[in-house]
Structure 1
Amino acid sequence: MTDPSRAIEEGTTETRGDAHTLRYVLRLPQPVEKVWTALATPDGLRGWLATAEVFEPRLGGAVSLRGLGGGRITAWDVERVAEYSTEGRGRVRFHLEPGAPEGTTVRFTHEFEGELRDPGWRARFERLLKALNA
């Protein structure tokens, strides 16, 4: 099992007025194809983030994640970039890069406005690690 303390870099926060950007870097031993499945398919998302009640895997496609709200897929480049914008929760982006030797680096960004709060991404990423290792 991947050690979360080594796989998940501490997140950073940038604030400008009422707008916030959270960033994390995940270094995962799994290949891009397996990580993409976890981040960009209904079955994969259900395993660690939320049930996708609606999921149209294409740029502009509808997405509705239980507990996180509905919105659109605002960036989509298969096995490279998945970005979801949801009403009231902002925009989350997963940018995948092949790592060495066969792993994957995920550059994660969450942009939102309003009160700065901890949206629980670290705990979610720990669930992602467990799902990938299952």
Structure 2
Amino acid sequence: MTGSIEQGISQTHGNTHILHFLVRLPRPMEQVWPALTTGDGLAAWFTPADVLEPRLGGAVTLRDVGSGHVTAWDVDRVAEYTVQDGGRIRFHLERDGEEGSALRFTHEFEGEQESEPRWHARFERLIAFLEAGAP
């Protein structure tokens, strides 16, 4: 299975922007989870996590994004980080066939700091990272 970015939707409500993506990943959820929830995993495709306490309410600092808290945590399924000036970043994993995963991604933020093309490029790096056999 190869990965693909199947959907990118951008919505604006006043000054609030919401990006949604559906990303099909070439690895099972258990192998994708560390790429979304560990410092090394996030650094490989998104940004380093200088602080990441893997639990609901835990502290998180995503370099170049901001500091805040883990606002949703369901092991192997949902990780959500809400960071000051960076908004709410939510990763929701689902099984996708025998060997793959589907990532339903949402980023809700104020201002203009993010864009659909930037996230698309990040997800291309995530797919490449997983296809290369990331742990």
Q: Does 1:95 align with 2:92?
A: yes
Superposition misfits of 4+ residues, deviation over 6 angstroms: none
Residues of 2 paired with 1:116 and 1:73: CA distance?
A: 21
Question: Which one of 97, 104, 107 corresponds to residue 104 of structure 2?
Answer: 107
Q: Structure 2 matches for 1:52-63, cutoff 5 A?
A: 52-63=49-60
CA displacement at 1:114 relative to structure 2:
2.2
- State the superposition RMSD in angstroms: 1.6
AA at the equivalent of 1:86? V
Look up the match of 1:130. 128
5 Å matches for 1:1-134? 2=2, 7-115=4-112, 117-118=114-115, 120-134=118-132
TM-score, normalised to structure 2, is: 0.90
SS of the residue 1:111 aligns to: strand
**Which blocks of at least 5 consecutive residues in structure 1 are unaligned?**
none
Q: Percent identity?
A: 56
TM-score, normalised to structure 1's length?
0.91
Structure in which a larger fraction of residues adopt strand: 2
User: 5+ unaligned residues in a row in structure 2: which ranges?
Assistant: none
